[in-house]
Structures are given as structure tokens and as C-alpha cells.
Amino acid sequence: QRRVHGILMHLRHYNQPNIQRYIIRILFMVPVYAIDSWLGLRFKAAALYVDLLRDIYESFVLYNFFALLLTHIGGDRQCTAELMRRPPLRHPPPCCCAKPTAVGETFLRVCKLCMVQFMLTKPLCSIVAIVLAYLGLYDEGTVGAGYLATVVVVNVSVTVAFTALVYFYQATKHLLDNFQAVGKFMCVKAIIFLSFWQGFFIALLKKGGVIHGLGDWSANEVSMGLQDFLICVEMAGIALAHRWGRETCIISLGRFRTVAPPSASRCSRTPPRCCTPLRSRTWRT
């Protein structure tokens, strides 16, 4: 409910579309995950097909988070100009001993490509899994049926995307001081990695016989249902974490700010601070 309220407030006070469109897409992640997981529990026979929507939106959100950072800096040209003035970037551990890499237009292009490849790879792997399941060649936890191959490909793809995001932040963190990008990055990363790795470990438990059929539910349906149930619970926790977080995204007259969220007693009567014009309110920094 809190996420939907935040989305509606942004839509009602849509005064900075270049930034707010990315924020709205990211805020939709919690409702999309929760509704998709509930549909997977309700219609167990179609859970594999329903989860395709979650996989598509997951990769879409990661690219939009990168686009949000880029837009906050000022766009491609402004970011490139700022990067050209930066010294070569040192690699983060464990590659800190490698030669520093130059940052500039090519660096930004590579970061974009790393984001796009995940946005394409994750849905494609999900489609491949659906086709293999239809042919009877896909079973979660079974090495020889294509499951391990899709897990490896997705894991490599998401690792490349997150690595590029870390490099981009390291090169532009001096431009994102008032954005609090680390906390927002960790929130998006937690959602993606929790859903991926818990699904992998549930598949291992199914393979080891810990998870088995129950009533008219097969072992595969139980494992997928457990994954969907855990995601529903986690989305409730993540929504609460957003609600009680210390900071929120602020949009006002071309300036992107971060301040403490409004109190719950005022949310139903006044628009949130992220939607109120700067000239009509005294801001806390």
C-alpha cells in the first residue's frame, strides 16, 4: 500500500518527468514482485510462465536504476565531460593491483552495454526455461536438464551488470554525494540477489530430497511455491524498510535532493516532500 501511495503521489506531482519516470518504475518493483508471486501461488500450474514477468521486470529495474544515476548527473554529455576530467580509475578489490582504467566516453558506453546485456539475458533465459519445460527437458535442481546452464548464464550476466554499476559509481560518486546512491543500490541488489540465490538453494534442497511432493502438489510445484511465498514475505519487509528508511528521493524544480520522509500523520493530507515544489516549503538537508 505504501509503495502504491508513493507511485500515485509521483504521478500526481509529475513535475520532473526526466527523473520521476525512473523512480516510478523502480517503485513498481515491489508491487510487481508481490502480485507475480501471489499469482504463482494461486495458479501453481502456470507458476513458471507467470514468473517470466518478474524476471523481465527485474532486469528492467536494474537498467532504470543506472539510468536514474545517469540522469541525476545530467545525462550522457554531462557525465562524459565530468569523467574526462577524472584521473584513471583504480579497480576495486580483488583487482586493485591491476592497472587503473581510463574513464570517459568509452567507459560510459561499456557500462551501458553491461546493463543492457542483463536486461536481454535474464528474459531470454526465462523463455529458454519455459521452452525446455514444455519439452520436458527442464527441472529445477536437475543438472542434466538445462537448469544448471541457465543458472550459470544468469549468474554471470548479473555479476557483469552489478560490477559495471559498481565501477560507474566509483567513477561518479563525487557527483552523487547528495543522492545517497549506496543505500538505494543495496536495496535493489538485495531484491535481485535474494530472489536468485534463494531460488537456487531451494532447487538444491529439492534435489537432495528435503523438499518433496505434498498432497496434489508435486515436488517441483512445492519448490516454486516456496520461492513465491518467500518473495511475498520479503516484499512486505522491503516495503516497510522503504517506509521507515531515513531518506527518500526528492524532486523539486530541477533539483534532486534527499531528506527525511514525511510523518505518517501527514501522508494522507499533503503530498510527500518528494513532490512538493521547493518554493512552497522549507527543506531539511
Neighbours of 89 (CB within 10 A): 17
What's the pLDDT at 257? 42
pLDDT, position 54:
82
H-only helix segments in the chain:
2-12, 17-27, 29-42, 47-73, 76-84, 105-134, 147-172, 181-207, 219-243, 264-267
Q: What are the CA-CA distances from residue 272 to residues 6, 200, 202, 259 (Å)?
A: 8, 39, 40, 11
Q: Which is nearest to 145 in space by CA: 156, 157, 129?
A: 129
d(CA 33, CA 27): 11
pLDDT of residue 13: 79
d(CA 58, CA 266): 32
pTM of the model: 0.74
What pLDDT is attached to residue 280? Answer: 36
Mean pLDDT, 10 residues at a time, the chain of 285 residues: 69 82 84 85 81 84 90 89 88 79 90 93 88 77 68 89 90 79 70 76 80 79 83 76 46 39 43 41 33
